[in-house]
Structure 1
Amino acid sequence: MFQNLSPGAIGIRCAWIEGLDLAREAGYQGADLNLGEAQRIAQERGTDTVRALFASRGLQIGGWGLPVDWRSPAPQFYEQLGRLPALCQLAADLGCHRTLTIYPPASDNLTRQELFNLAVKRLRLVAEVLRDYGHRIGIEFIGPRTSRMNHKHGAIYSMDGLLALACAIGTGNVGLLFDVWHWYTCRSTLDDVRHLAAADVVYVHINDAPAGIDALDQMDLVRCLPGETGIIPNVELLRTLKAIGFDGPVTIEPFSQSLSELAAQDPLAAAKRARASLEPIWREAGLA
């Protein structure tokens, strides 16, 4: 596993290369790939130039956001799908084989089964393209009950539900974007994680939960830095992920108002503060 920086996840707004500089200066081991920007640079100056952006800073490449909106209208979806092979080739040339998307916890337009069927159909098409280039896709489920309230139809919101989707897609390269927050808010257990295979986990988000609020009542965008409250057992989770063989990026995503305010004033200080929150957990989990 390696400590990975995604600037937007800690409230930093900056150009992609500035984010790579922040990752290096704040002591992270990796950073995410902006595939669109990487494609522009590669077309102008070659793939080696993009590769050097990471290598010269001593950074591993984390992951890249799936450039296909699988829930979009059909013409848009198929247009984006048609552009996917070239982007997959670039990511493969760079050695970054983890892409990420999200599964909504509810819908006002599609029933649970209709949304599931759409996901299976379209994400299978996506995953087949990804597989041709050696990529895996991590899908994030959204755990909080509050994110499902006030919508007409519920949807997948748990780890087991997402793994069932991966099984239905059936391409062998679909797994979890495992966010400890969603694991906690859907009331999963450490045993649930112990039963995973390394291939089930593509990418990890880490954070903590506000104290004094039941897991079912937590609000999705109100979180804490790792270790801030100790509500989420991050040490045990990281130990378990290590034990099952996960070796990928761990990205801090706290949705912290105070951190976002700091990021607006001093992005480097915010990046350092976020990493400092993870360090004791990292050491105690035996990852240092």
Structure 2
Amino acid sequence: MYKVLNSKGLGVGGRQNELIELALTHGFKGVEIDMNDLVGRHDALGKEFACQFLQSAKMDIGSFDLPINFGGTDAEFVASCEKLETIMDLAATLNAKRCRVRIEPNSEATPFQENFERHRERIEDIGAKFEEHGIRLGLYLQASSAVEADGNYKFIQTAEEILTLVKAIGHANVGLSLDTWEWVVGGGAMDQISDMDLAILTEVILSDVGADATPGSYTAADRVLPCTGGDPFSLKLCQFLKEKGYDGALSMGTEAHMYAGAPNRHDVAGKLSTMLDKLADGEDPTYVEEPEVEEGEEGEGAEGADGADGEKAAEETKDGAAKDAAADGSKEEATPAKA
């Protein structure tokens, strides 16, 4: 597994070269890019300018969102593919290996089955085009964005449904972009992952569901860092992936609220890097080992404390005995006088 800096929601947004600097400083092997921004740079100032920082840094591209409307009308789909050749050229130039296809959980106008076939055909076609450049497509579940069917149609809203779509497409270049938060929100479980061929995974994005989350009413605030919520699904997944030898991309599923109080973006990036290192090793990223106490220190400290307490107790005993003796003596002297 190798670490990718996913800048979404970090509160550390900045120019492309600043994000690259963060990734390099804190030991990330890859960084995600904003493809829309990159295409804009390309159109304004040319490919060389658009790619220069990423190429000079020799940094891998973790992933990028593919800005294509797979669920739109034919006209909308064709319009969203207008920059497809530019996107593929930029991705190939930067040696990008994967992109992310976000599947909308609802449709305003298209029934489920018709929409399913529309996605299957279009994604298979685009997947074949990207395969020529060695770039895989990962389907991304957006279960947390699902809404009740009120004047619209339900689409892919569960882990089982996203897997069904991947299998229906049946193209080796099309897999699953696994976000653990969305997976759990969408009813996904570990057994579904343990039963699948891990070659299907294009990337793994980690975060857990908060302990106070209400099923069916999830919000962005319920997405928390691994092992800081209820069920530590991300940790269990990483332990399984480590055991199975998964060597793909690993990033954090971020939201700005996760880093409230962090002094600056370097602190945030450093924290993410450390947590990802531990998770990749199958360790709880929130566990802090108690500092080791050298032999003799604890005993000396205790002995010193005991000694001080002992001296104090001895003094109190001595004083008490003296008082008792004085009292006894006074009584003994008074008795003969009375006799």
Q: TM-score, normalised by structure 1?
A: 0.83
Distance 1:161 1:217, change over 3 A: same
Q: Is the 8 A contact 1:54 1:61 kept in 2?
A: no
Partner of 2:240: helix, strand, or coil?
A: helix
Distance across 1 between alignment mates of 2:66 and 2:244: 25
Distance 1:161 1:120, change over 3 A: same
Deviation at 1:154, TM superposition (A): 1.9
The count of residues paired between Structure 1 and Structure 2 equals 281
Distance 1:48 1:11, change over 3 A: closer
Deviation at 1:19, TM superposition (A): 0.9
Q: Percent identity?
A: 21
Distance 1:243 1:88, change over 3 A: farther
The structure showing larger relative contact order (alpha-carbon pairs under 8 Å, at least 6 residues apart) is 1
Question: Any idea what the Cα deviations from partners look like across 1:68-127, whole Å, max 9, x if unmatched?
Answer: 222344334224424323422332233212011211222333222232122123222221
Task: Say whether 1:198 aligns with 2:201.
Answer: no
Q: Is the 8 A contact 2:242 2:280 kept in 1?
A: no
Distance across 1 between alignment mates of 2:199 and 2:83: 26
Give unpaired runs (5+ residues) of structure 2.
Answer: 285-339
Distance across 1 between alignment mates of 2:170 and 2:258: 42
Which moves more between the two structures, 192-201 or 249-258?
249-258
Distance across 2 between alignment mates of 1:77 and 1:107: 14
Distance 1:204 1:154, change over 3 A: same
Q: 2:302 — aligned with what?
A: none
The AA in structure 2 aligned to 1:149 is E
Give unpaired runs (5+ residues) of structure 1.
Answer: none
Q: Is the 8 A contact 1:107 1:154 kept in 2?
A: yes
Distance across 2 between alignment mates of 1:73 and 1:254: 32
Distance 1:67 1:187, change over 3 A: closer
- Give the root-mean-square deviation of aligned CA atoms: 3.0
Deviation at 1:137, TM superposition (A): 0.4
**Residues 171-250 of structure 1: matches in 2 within 5 Å?**
171-220=171-220, 222-250=222-250
Task: Say whether 1:114 aligns with 2:114.
Answer: yes
Distance 1:45 1:102, change over 3 A: closer
The AA in structure 1 aligned to 2:233 is P
Distance across 1 between alignment mates of 2:215 and 2:276: 22
Partner of 2:280: helix, strand, or coil?
A: helix
Q: Is the 8 A contact 1:10 1:253 kept in 2?
A: no
Q: Is the 8 A contact 1:47 1:94 kept in 2?
A: no
**Residues 1-288 of structure 1: matches in 2 within 5 Å?**
1-36=1-36, 38=38, 40=41, 43=46, 45=48, 49-50=52-53, 52-55=55-58, 59-144=59-144, 147-149=146-148, 151=150, 152-220=152-220, 222-259=222-259, 261-262=260-261, 266-285=264-283
The AA in structure 2 aligned to 1:179 is D
Q: Is the 8 A contact 1:66 1:101 kept in 2?
A: yes
Q: Runs ≥4 in structure 1, deviation > 6 angstroms?
A: none
Q: TM-score, normalised by structure 2?
A: 0.72
Q: Is the 8 A contact 1:208 1:254 kept in 2?
A: no
Deviation at 1:196, TM superposition (A): 1.7
Q: Is the 8 A contact 1:227 1:281 kept in 2?
A: no
Distance 1:283 1:212, change over 3 A: same
